[in-house]
């Protein structure tokens, strides 16, 4: 699939060397960033921490389960707005059959996402060895069987698509889109994750896709407003750009960051923060458009949305920030409190109608007649 995956077999028999000041392709690297036993792919001096023959069957199975990243299933929370909005706007009542569809839909989403995580883990392994934390991932430590990983990748996709087909055609097509975007993001020659800005845009498209998945769990009659989908896409870009910023900042040097992730060669802290501002502004523009067109009462939730975004922004500057690991965000107490308050406010406001809001924001200027215009 990719020449970068080919690591000479004799490396697996080398003992790990001491953590001294080393070099990665001629770039001096301090001990606290990366040791010379985790050198870049293709470096004849690189070693692999684990020898394949020393891995037990049980450890191998555990590694294959781990690369599915089932702990990342918390990201299915991005499906919830797609469920809540049509339930409120269309006044669809809860029922046993609807709850069953939601459960089946979440299982399908998890399987498809896990398929994407599996191929991501495999193709990123040579580069994860250059990352201070990701070097401990199973594929980076050569704890998995490469042929078995490919079988696992395809099997999870098939299982996910079969499960998705139990919901509806629209849901299955959206699930296929989620899987295809995972391929675009990870697999050469496309591999959009290596292209600056496109990496954020292509990975964050999973946000509106997840919203669509949630929507089609509830109904296939209507589709979400474009303004809402665009807002959801851009807020995903906002979070993802902050993740990139936090990673770039923690790695410490542009040269080393570029060895770990190709797109980092074209980023700087300044350009990443500039993109964060852009994504936030565009997201709120389309969120405002959705509010004005469909539900004015949601204006009252905006301060909570802004507070949560500000908290996340500040968090990206923390050492070993949770912004780099979204699956661990539940450990950030204040962020979870703010997210909970925001979710409760939005849900309540979606079911609330305040007629005075329409009068307050209705146009008050009389129509202006310009001679010769009509």
- Tell me the per-residue pLDDT of 111-155, one tens digit each, with 9 for 90 and over: 999 999 999 999 999 988 888 788 899 999 999 999 999 999 999
The phi-psi region of residue 253 (left if phi > 0; otherwise alpha if psi is between -120 and 50; otherwise beta) is beta
* 182 part of a folded domain: yes
In a domain, 8, yes or no: no
- 91 and 40: one domain? no
Phi, psi of 229, rounded to the nearest 5 degrees:
-65, -45
Residues 6+ apart with CB under 8 A from 140: 124, 125, 126, 128, 129, 134
Does the predicted model carry a pTM greater than 0.75?
yes
Q: Look at residue 27 and tell me if it is in a domain.
A: yes
- The number of folded domains in the chain is 3
Q: Are residues 249 and 120 in the same domain?
A: no
- Which residues, including other chains, have CB under 8 Å from residue 185's CB and lie 6 or more apart? 116, 120, 191, 192, 193, 199, 202, 203
Q: Assess if residue 330 is contained within a domain.
A: yes
pLDDT for 364 equals: 66
Whether 344 has a pLDDT exceeding 80, the answer reads: yes
Residues 238 and 287 in one domain: yes
- Is-contact 4 41, C-beta < 8 A? yes
Based on the fold, state whether residues 204 and 62 are members of the same structural domain: yes
Indicate whether 34 and 179 sit together in one domain: no
Give the rounded distance of the alpha carbon of 160 from its chain centre: 18
* Average pLDDT score, the chain: 83
Residue 366 pLDDT more than 70?
no
Residue 2 inside a domain? The answer is no
User: Residue 164 maps to which CATH number?
Assistant: 1.10.357.140
Same domain, 32 and 130: no
Q: Flag whether 292 is in a domain.
A: yes
Residues 308 and 274 placed together within one structural domain of the fold: yes
Q: What is the pLDDT of residue 12?
A: 37
| Domain boundaries, position 33 | 16-47
Residue 363 is assigned to a structural domain of this protein: no
Buried b (16+ CB within 10 A) or exposed e, 246-279: bbbbbbeeebbbbbbbbbbeebeeeebeebbeeb
In angstroms, the CA 10 to CA 66 distance is 26
Q: How confident is the model at residue 8 (pLDDT cuts 50, 70, 90)?
A: very low
Which residues does 296 contact at the CB level (< 8 Å), separation at least 6?
A: 354, 357, 358, 361
């Amino acid at each position: 699939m990719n020449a970068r995956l080919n690591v000479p077999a004799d490396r697996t028999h080398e003992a790990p060397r001491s953590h001294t000041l080393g070099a990665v392709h001629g770039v001096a690297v301090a001990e606290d960033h990366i040791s010379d036993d985790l050198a870049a792919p293709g470096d004849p001096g690189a070693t692999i921490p684990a020898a394949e023959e020393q891995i037990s069957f049980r450890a191998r199975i555990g590694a294959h389960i781990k690369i599915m990243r089932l702990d990342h299933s918390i990201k299915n929370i991005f499906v919830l707005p797609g469920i809540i909005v049509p339930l409120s706007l269309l006044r669809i009542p809860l029922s046993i059959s609807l709850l069953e569809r939601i459960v089946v839909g979440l299982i399908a989403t998890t399987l498809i996402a896990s398929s994407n995580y599996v191929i991501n883990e495999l193709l990123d392994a040579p580069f994860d060895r250059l990352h201070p934390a990701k070097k401990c991932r199973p594929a980076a430590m050569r704890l998995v069987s490469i042929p078995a990983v490919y079988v696992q990748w395809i099997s999870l996709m098939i299982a996910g698509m079969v499960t998705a087909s139990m919901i509806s055609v629209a849901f299955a097509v959206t699930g296929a889109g989620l899987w295809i975007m995972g391929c675009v993001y990870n697999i050469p020659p496309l591999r959009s994750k290596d292209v600056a800005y496109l990496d954020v845009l292509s990975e964050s498209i999973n946000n509106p896709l997840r919203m669509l998945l949630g929507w089609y769990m509830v109904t296939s009659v209507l589709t979400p407003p474009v303004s809402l989908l665009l807002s959801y896409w851009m807020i995903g870009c906002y979070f993802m750009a902050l993740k990139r910023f936090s990673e770039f900042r923690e790695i410490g040097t542009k040269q080393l960051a570029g060895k770990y992730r190709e797109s980092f060669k074209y980023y700087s802290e300044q350009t990443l923060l500039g993109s964060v501002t852009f994504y936030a502004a565009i997201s709120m523009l389309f969120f405002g458009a959705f509010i004005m067109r469909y539900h004015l009462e949601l204006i009252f939730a905006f301060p909570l949305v802004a507070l949560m975004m500000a908290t996340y922004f500040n968090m990206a500057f923390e050492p070993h920030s949770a912004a780099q690991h979204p699956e661990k965000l539940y450990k950030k107490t204040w962020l979870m409190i703010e997210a909970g308050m925001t979710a409760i406010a939005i849900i309540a406001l979606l079911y609330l109608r305040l007629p005075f809001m329409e009068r307050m924001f209705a146009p008050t200027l009389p129509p202006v007649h310009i001679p010769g215009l009509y």
